[in-house]
Structure formats: C-alpha cells, structure tokens
Structure 1
Amino acid sequence: MAVLKSLVKIFHKETLTLTDKLAPLALDGQPFEPMNRIGLAGFSMIVRSMTSLDLQIQRNFCDNHPFIRAFDDAFDIHMIRVLNPWLLMPTIFNLSRYKKQLMDASTQSRAFAEKVVAEIKSKVMQENTKREESFGRFQSNSEDVHEDNIQHSLAEVIIRDQLDPNIPTEDVMPPEELISEIITMLFAGMDTTKVTNAIILVMLALHPKVQQEVYDEIQSVMGNDPTLAPTYEQLSTFHALTRVIKETMRLFPAAPMIGREAEQEFQVDGYTIPKGAAMWIGILGLHRDHRYWPNPNRFDPDRFLPSETSSRRIPNAYMPFSTGARNCIGLRYAMLQMKTMISTIVRRYRILPGDKCKRVEDVRFTVHLTLKLLEGNDIRLEPRTTDM
C-alpha cells in the first residue's frame, strides 16, 4: 500500500505536464485525438514508477516515443502472424518482411531498456561514491543516515545488488534478465490504460451532465486550485469518477478477450470442454450482453452504484481485469493512475465533443488481443475559470 501511495505524486506531476502541453490546443479550441498524448504521459509514469528516473519524456517528445512505436510495431506483427498461421512457421516468417520489422522493433525497445539500466547504474554509483566520501558525516548526522531508508524502485534495488561486491553473483538477477524484465513490464503497463484514459475523456465529452457530476465531486474534495495534488485517500472518495471509469471499461474493455487453458473437463451448454483445451473468453461480448446489462450499449455509470452492484449483477458478468487466480496484477496501479490523470485533467479543462465523434456509437475501435482505437475519436478542451 505504501508503494501505491507513493505513486500518486508521480502520476499527478506527469499529468500536470500533460495539461500544460494541452494548453495551446485548449486555447485554440482545436479538436484532437488524445490517445497518443495520454499514452506518452502514461509511458513516462510507468518508467518513473519502475526505475525512479525522471527522463523528461513528455518534454523531450511530442506525442510519441521510439519505445512506444516499437511496441506498436511488434504487437501488429504478432497479430498478423496470429491471423496468418503460416507465418507462425519460423522458416516462412524469417523470409518475410515482417522478420526485419520485428528485429528493428526489438532493437529499439532493447536500446531504451539499456539506456534506463545505464542511467540507474550511474545514479547508484554516484550515490555510493557520495556515501563513502561522507561516511564520517553520516555517522554523526542522523538525518543523513535516514537517506538509506528512502524507498527505491525494484530495478534500482536489483542494480544495487549487482554492483555490491559483497553479494554473490548467483544471488542477483543477471543483467540480460533485467533488460528483458524491464521491456516486459513496460509493454505490460503501457497500452491498456492509454486506450481506457482516452475513451474516458471521450465519454465525458459526450455526457456533459456526467462530467459536471464528476467535476463537482472532485471540487468538493480538492477546492479550486487545479494544480493541487490529490492524496491516495482523497482519490478513494471520487465515487462518481470511479463509476465513469468502470462503465467505460464495461463498454470498451482494454482486454476484449483473454485466453485460458481448461484445468479439467467441464460442460458448457451441453458441450464438453476437455482438459487442456485452449479457449478464448469474449469479455467485450459479455460486457454488452443484454441478459446481464439492460440497454447494454448505453453509457450509464449509475450501473455501478452500490445498490445496483450488490443486488442485481451476477458474479463475473464484469471482468475488465479478468478474474480469479490469473487476474491482472496491475489492477490497483491502473485504477490509481486513471483516477489521478482524469481528475487532474477535468479540474483544469472542460471536455467537449470534437468534430468526428458525436455519439457513443461513433467511437471507432478494432479488437486485437487488446482493444485498439482507430482514427476519429476526437475531443476539444476548454480552460475552466476558477477563483484561486
């Protein structure tokens, strides 16, 4: 819990940078599609959360990053192989143009991960040198001694162990494995919240009464200063925003389908599913099934009022993060990030419909292993005026 609470400041600071970058668009009243800008902010958040490094990603890049492009390219190639099974054969795939594209994407992602590791190593070595030079002062100054109790990121802890001559090599994570883990964690935490945050803004633009309810509740807790950082406890009181997030994930689940393997034989509607069978669970279809959701295609955050969720919904009719033993390990991170980002944007800007997306039915997306937004999901921003 302490780790999650410490992330709120990172999320808020990065969102303030995002809102500053959005200011020219808001002043011009220019329609734009928010996903790439939100994605860059979210990418910077997860880099800082994982590594404790502030690489100034949003300030150094416009609305994309080489690592994000590499991820998108690798994901697209993976889907092409799934939809064209002959490309799953290594001999055929290696002769195709996709092989080089995948290698290029791998090189880009690895280059960034190596840069991150080098930055952390440099930081740790500088701190070690400073600590050795000031050892006498640390012994006599209790405030400085407490510096060792600062919470470090997991990547930083691993690299500290790698550089510690007193720890046997076999007891620390090998450098190659650390590179792979960083790439995997960045991939896993980047794509889904980007899409969900973008659609939340579109939903708020299309439902001004809902947006006003969200804004009023946030203001009642936070006051008129739109730059004030929320606390973890304050975020937990944003009930209207929580309902909006949940309803958005119902209509547009970031993982519209998930794969599972049957651990034992079982029956479904008279069909026998054998043990070991691979299967897909269609979460998008489940979330829009009229048997469980009245008017399933209508955006209605009040579906998630306590009175509704406790008395009317059957178990597992709602699973945006999957469910059971293999549910998403990033659930709490994602919810905290979305609450912080959306609440900070809403406090500074009124969100209005763009030129192309005027109704919920206009939201354009396609279904891969994750939900992908297509072009046309635009919004406008209008600066709010508050008495500071």
Structure 2
Amino acid sequence: MLLAVVALVWIVGLGIYLHRKFADALYYAAKIGGPKGYPLIGNALRFVNKTPADFFLAISDVIKESGKCFRLWLGPDLLIIVTDAKVAEGLLNSPKFIEKSAEYDYIRPWLGEGLLTSGDKKWFTFRKIITPTFHFKILDEFVEIFDQQSNIFIDQLKPKAESGESFDVFPMVTLCALDVICESAMGTKVNAQKNSDSDYVKAVKEISFIIHVRMYDVFSRYNFLFNMSSYRRRQDKALKILHGFTNSVIQSRRATIAQQGNKKADDPDNEVGVRKKIAFLDMLLQATIDGRPLTDLEIRQEVDTFVFEGHDTTTSAISFLLYRLSKHPDVQQKAYDEIVSVIGDDRRSPMNLTQLNELRYLELVIKETLRLYPSVPFFGRKILETSKIEGRTIPAGTSVVVVPFFMGRDPEYFDDPLEFRPERFDVESSAEKTNPYRYIPFSAGPRNCIGQKFAMAEIKSLISKVLRNYVVLPPEGGHSQEESFIAEMILRPTYGIPIRLRERK
C-alpha cells in the first residue's frame, strides 16, 4: 500500500513538473502548427534510422507539408523551422537573439566558447577584438597564402588532368582549404595537401565526422547516450591531438614574440610572421580585454574556431562551384575570359586583392552557387525568454532554425530557382536587393559571418588559378546521378563532386 502511494505521488509530481516545464511550449507550439507528433517522442520517428541524405530529404518533405514556419518536436526539444524571409529577418536582425541553438553544443568540445559558439557579453567582446583582423589591408596579406596553396593544388590536380579520368574533387579541395586556413590562422603550415595522413589532418577529419553524426543521429544528440558510445572515445582522442597542436603553436609563438621584445606584429622586421604576413594568432596574442592579455585557452578557442569555420565552408563552396562550372561551359568560358582580362594568360602569376576584386562576373557565379548550395545550410538561435517574432510567440528554450538552402530554391523568392543564372545577381536586377533576407549564405544581422570577405577572396583566388590551368569538364557519362545532399553544419554532396580536367593549351 505504501509503495502504491509513493508511486502515485511520484507520478503526480512528475506530471506537475512536466506541465510547468512544457505548458507554455505546448501551448504556443500548437498555435504555430506543424506535422502530427506523438506523446513524449514528438516527431522523432520521422528521423530515426535515417542516413544523412535521407534525413535531409525528410526535412524537405516536412517543409513541403507544413509551410515556411512550423514546429517540430524531437522528443522534449522544440524546434521552429523557418524558410520565411520576414521571420528570418526578425530573428537574425535582432541583437536580442544571438544565443546559438543547442545543435552548436556538438562543436563546443572542439571550439569551446569561441566566436561561433559563445553568446551574450563574451560574444560582443570578442567580435569587437576580431573584426579588425578582416580589414582589407590585413586581408591583402592573406592573399599570398591563397596563391601559394593554390599553386600546390594545381600541381596536385595535374595527374588527374593527364589521365583524363573522372575523380571526386571534394577531398582535394578540403585539404587545400585546410592548408590555407591553418597557415592564415596560426602562421604554421600543416602541409595537408602533401601529407593527408598527418595526425592533425586525420584528427580534423575525425572530429568533423563525429560532429556530423550528432547532427543527424537522434540518439547521439543526448550527451548521456553519446558518452556511452564509441564516438565519445574517438572524440576524446581527436581532441587531444587538435588541442595539443594548437596549444603548442600558441606557446611557441608567444615565446617568439617575447623574444622580439617591443616589436609589434605588423613591424616589417618582425620575424614572428612568415615574411610580412600576419597570422590571426599574432593579432590575438597582441589583443587585450580591459587591459589584460587573452589567456591561452581564449586564444585557442578562437584559432580553432577560425580553422573549423574556414576550411569546411570554403570547401563546400569551391566544390559546388567546380561542379556548376563543369555543367555550364558558357559560364566557365565567360569567367575565364574575365580572369585573363585582369591578369593575362600567365598560369602562375599571383593576383593581389585589388585584382581579385575586379573579378566581378566570377563573384556573380560564386553568389549564384551559394544561392543553390549555401555552405551553411541552416542557422540556429536559442530563444532565452518567450518572445514575439513577426507575430508569432516563441516560447523560452525553443531553437529557431533558419534554412537558407530551401529559401534559395523557393520559386516565390527566385524566378526559375533551379536554373543556374549568375546574372540574377548583377547590379541592375540584384536578387540580394529585393529582400536581402531571402539570400543569406553568410547569415545576416549582428552574427553574420565575420570572414565572408576572406572567404570570397580565397574562392576567387583558387578558382581563378584552376581556370587558368584547366578546363573543368563533367564526369564520363555526364552528371547522370540526381543531386543528393548531406546537410549538417556544412552542406556536403552525398556522392562527392565528380569532374574531369583538361589542361589548357
């Protein structure tokens, strides 16, 4: 009898707790609407045992069913999915909603509280510190790194061009982008293109894979289940290598700066950088918060953030751009002609930032590629207190997820959305100006991508070097396979990016 009473009290107590915890969420979520769910598990069954590609298709199906703003329950987690430009604007443009959603927790073991994942006061402070890093005068010095690594990339591609066989370019672009960002961020070469089996390169691949698993595996989303899996042990092993490498670079460069005495990082005679180049790390080592230098941990988090954000996103953009150039020889020829008009037909001549900025048609091609294949397919924000966004009440604790992939393919926002037409971004009829929140490949508002100019210059540099040396061709048999995507933190092709190359005569 006593056990029955205790059990009854426990059940009633649990019911009261759950009602208090979820009453507002259930009430407001019902007003927003969404696909039919079930008690306790919500809509989770629609996403269980899905491959990454199937998961993306499942999201696509729900968007078709439920419209441009709807709720999803993944167990107790409430998500609001948004492809409505006005709702996206209300969310992203407000300084009130800068806290990243729970999905970013999967990156925190690697990045800690860096610029991508931090919120509130710390984010504002570090955004202010880091913004000058992307000043055009500093950016111009990174261009030399872009060019040097592009030359290595061209050399790596030569055997592919000589064989004439189809190959997946995505892994090769990944290694090039990793070389660029590591040298730019840390002033240290990791030689990923020439040594893809190094411990650091393999650790980057491993941690990226684990992050992606947690994005689509419903059970791995929960720490207590993840911590019991083999993925947790693999993550710990990769993090030991990643954090150890970054820490060693920080300590080494901090010691070198100390030996340099009072010389500044931008002193032409300073030996800290590579020649006159200034690494992102050097600027952080010189930075202060209220007069105190940054700790090694704070610096490591920002450097690791730069590496994470800077290699995966540009890899996605460059790879899909090469895919589209292979499908559209007219666009490729026009881009090549523009490059020659700016730099001439010398295959190896470096381009400076001014020349890269003159590649206006290539910029249109990049923008059109990012409309169809945004490197970051979604942005998430966590609502800390119950708020209204475009007339909708969003309860506290909700993750609001904006999905630019589907916005870029919405016929209401872009005419003939699946047609690849770079001219839609020209000055006269710019698709960006109609409603800038319909096209947000670099996010928007206070938390927009701080490195978008860096990324644009890097993409232009690499693509211009590729096109000066090779003609990009479709794979043997053409692009017969239907497009398929894996959408986690970064948009990836399910089956790679198969192309062929022919050396220019």
Check whether TM > 0.5.
yes
Q: Work out whether 1:210 is the aligned partner of 2:331.
A: yes
Give the match's secondary structure for 1:224: coil
- Tell me the TM-score normalized by structure 1: 0.83
Q: Confirm or deny: 8 A CA contact 1:40 1:65 kept in the other structure.
A: no
Residues 320-335 of structure 1 aligned to structure 2 (within 5 Å) = 320-335=441-456
Q: What is the identity, as a one-letter code, of the residue corresponding to 1:108?
A: I
* Count of residues paired in the alignment: 360
Measured at CA, do residues 122 and 349 of structure 1 come closer, stay the same or move farther in structure 2, by a change above 3 Å? farther
State the shift of 1:68 in Å.
Answer: 4.3
Measured at CA, do residues 65 and 254 of structure 1 come closer, stay the same or move farther in structure 2, by a change above 3 Å? farther
State the shift of 1:273 in Å.
Answer: 2.9
Measured against aligned partners, the alpha-carbon deviations of 1:164-213 in whole angstroms (never above 9, x if no partner) come to xxx9xx93333333333322221121111011101111110110000000
Question: Could you tell me how far apart the structure 1 residues matched to 2:367 and 2:435 are?
Answer: 16
Partner of 1:232: 353
Which residue of the other structure, out of 74, 94, 104, is the alignment partner of 2:227?
94
Q: Work out whether 1:266 is the aligned partner of 2:388.
A: yes
Give the match's secondary structure for 2:227: helix
Aligned-CA RMSD value: 3.0
Partner of 1:284: 405
Measured against aligned partners, the alpha-carbon deviations of 1:18-67 in whole angstroms (never above 9, x if no partner) come to 101111111111211111111111111111112223444433x14x6543
Measured at CA, do residues 187 and 249 of structure 1 come closer, stay the same or move farther in structure 2, by a change above 3 Å? same
Residues 1-388 of structure 1 aligned to structure 2 (within 5 Å) = 1-59=136-194, 61-62=195-196, 66-84=199-217, 86-117=219-250, 120=253, 124=257, 128=260, 147-148=269-270, 150=276, 152-157=278-283, 171-262=292-383, 265-266=387-388, 268=390, 271-274=392-395, 277-309=398-430, 313-355=434-476, 358=479, 362-385=482-505
State the shift of 1:226 in Å.
Answer: 1.1
Question: Could you tell me how far apart the structure 2 residues matched to 1:152 and 1:58 are?
Answer: 22
Partner of 2:117: none
Q: Can you give the 5+ residue segments of structure 1 that lack an aligned partner in the other structure?
A: 133-144, 162-166
Q: Confirm or deny: 8 A CA contact 2:169 2:319 kept in the other structure.
A: yes
Q: Can you give the 5+ residue segments of structure 2 that lack an aligned partner in the other structure?
A: 1-135
Question: Could you tell me how far apart the structure 2 residues matched to 1:54 and 1:333 are?
Answer: 18
Q: What is the identity, as a one-letter code, of the residue corresponding to 2:425?
A: F
Q: What is the identity, as a one-letter code, of the residue corresponding to 1:242?
A: E
Measured against aligned partners, the alpha-carbon deviations of 1:187-244 in whole angstroms (never above 9, x if no partner) come to 1211110111011111101100000000011111111111111121111111111111
Partner of 2:49: none
Q: What is the identity, as a one-letter code, of the residue corresponding to 2:491?
A: L
Measured at CA, do residues 124 and 30 of structure 1 come closer, stay the same or move farther in structure 2, by a change above 3 Å? farther
Give the match's secondary structure for 1:195: helix
State the shift of 1:156 in Å.
Answer: 3.0
Measured at CA, do residues 41 and 100 of structure 1 come closer, stay the same or move farther in structure 2, by a change above 3 Å? same
State the shift of 1:103 in Å.
Answer: 0.8
Give the match's secondary structure for 1:203: helix
Measured at CA, do residues 86 and 312 of structure 1 come closer, stay the same or move farther in structure 2, by a change above 3 Å? closer
- Tell me the TM-score normalized by structure 2: 0.65
Q: Confirm or deny: 8 A CA contact 1:357 1:376 kept in the other structure.
A: no
Q: What is the identity, as a one-letter code, of the residue corresponding to 2:269?
A: E
Question: Could you tell me how far apart the structure 1 residues matched to 2:467 and 2:157 are?
Answer: 12
Question: Could you tell me how far apart the structure 2 residues matched to 1:41 and 1:376 are?
Answer: 16
Q: What is the identity, as a one-letter code, of the residue corresponding to 1:184?
A: T
Give the match's secondary structure for 2:381: strand
Q: Which region of structure 1 is more displaced relative to structure 2, 194-203 or 271-280? A: 271-280
Give the match's secondary structure for 1:30: coil
State the shift of 1:77 in Å.
Answer: 2.8
Partner of 2:71: none
Q: Between Structure 1 and Structure 2, which shows a larger proportion of helix residues?
A: 1
Give the match's secondary structure for 2:168: coil
Question: Could you tell me how far apart the structure 2 residues matched to 1:57 and 1:83 are?
Answer: 28
Q: Confirm or deny: 8 A CA contact 1:363 1:376 kept in the other structure.
A: no
Question: Could you tell me how far apart the structure 1 residues matched to 2:503 and 2:255 are?
Answer: 41
The percent identity for this pair of structures is 28
Measured at CA, do residues 70 and 229 of structure 1 come closer, stay the same or move farther in structure 2, by a change above 3 Å? same
Give the match's secondary structure for 2:430: helix
